Structure 1
Amino acid sequence: MSVLLEFSMFPTSSNCRDGDSVSAQVSKIVDVIDKSGVAYQLTPMGTVIETDTMKEALAIIELAYEQINGCDRVYSSLKFDIRKNTKNRLKTKIASVEKVLNRKVNH
């Protein structure tokens, strides 16, 4: 099984922000994801992870929240794409689109 999870999580309370910036808090989250060994891709608006189970994906969310749980208010948005009998979709989904685009360029 492949569980793709795209999420964003950041504090909205002033006690955890540096003015308008939340990069210090987001960096803590990305650091623990990196150390977890889970495949991930950082994007400007969030992070995409891939796990083998829903339980693993939710454990990453809990781990991420633990990094900023001292904040008075936290915003988070999550999107899942769960598919059986597949793996490595973090790369193969992009490769599939790039393959189609390459065909269009060559024609």
Structure 2
Amino acid sequence: MSVLLEFAMFPTDKGESVSPYVSKIIQMIRENGATYQLTPMGTIIETETMSEALAIVQQSYDLLEPDCDRVYASLKFDIRKGKSQCLTQKIISVENIIGKVNK
């Protein structure tokens, strides 16, 4: 199974730049070994189960909670049985189609 989670989580009470807080979350994702892609608007992770994805969300909040009085989070899921490596395969599929159209 492939669980793609696109999420953003950051404090809203720490001023304009929240990159130090986002960096803590990215470091935790790396340490967990999850496949991820950082984007300017959030982070996409791929796990094998919904519980693994939700655990990362909880761990992200747990990192921010001690220092932050207000945390914003946005989450989107794409859950697909019988598939894996959807994070990369979806991009390859679209790029292959574009390549065929441009020839």
- Would you say same fold, with TM above 0.5? yes
How far does residue 105 in structure 1 lie from its aligned partner after superposition? 1.1
Q: Distance in 1 between matches of 2:10 and 2:90?
A: 27
Alignment match of 2:64 (pick from 55, 64, 68) = 68
Q: Distance in 2 between matches of 1:50 and 1:93?
A: 12
- Could you tell me which residue of structure 2 aligns to residue 38 of structure 1? 34
Report how many residues are paired: 102
Unaligned regions of 5+ residues in structure 1, if any? none
What percentage of residue pairs aligned between the two structures are identical?
58
SS at match of 1:21: coil
Unaligned regions of 5+ residues in structure 2, if any? none
Does 2:51 correspond to 1:55?
yes
- Could you tell me which residue of structure 1 aligns to residue 75 of structure 2? 78
Alignment match of 1:27 (pick from 9, 23, 27) = 23
Question: After superposition, what is the alpha-carbon deviation per residue over 1:77-103, rounded to whole angstroms, capped at 9, x for unaligned?
Answer: 000000000000010000000000101
- Note the aligned Cα RMSD (angstroms): 0.6
Q: Distance in 1 between matches of 2:62 and 2:36?
A: 18
Q: TM-score, normalised by structure 1?
A: 0.93
How far does residue 66 in structure 1 lie from its aligned partner after superposition? 1.2
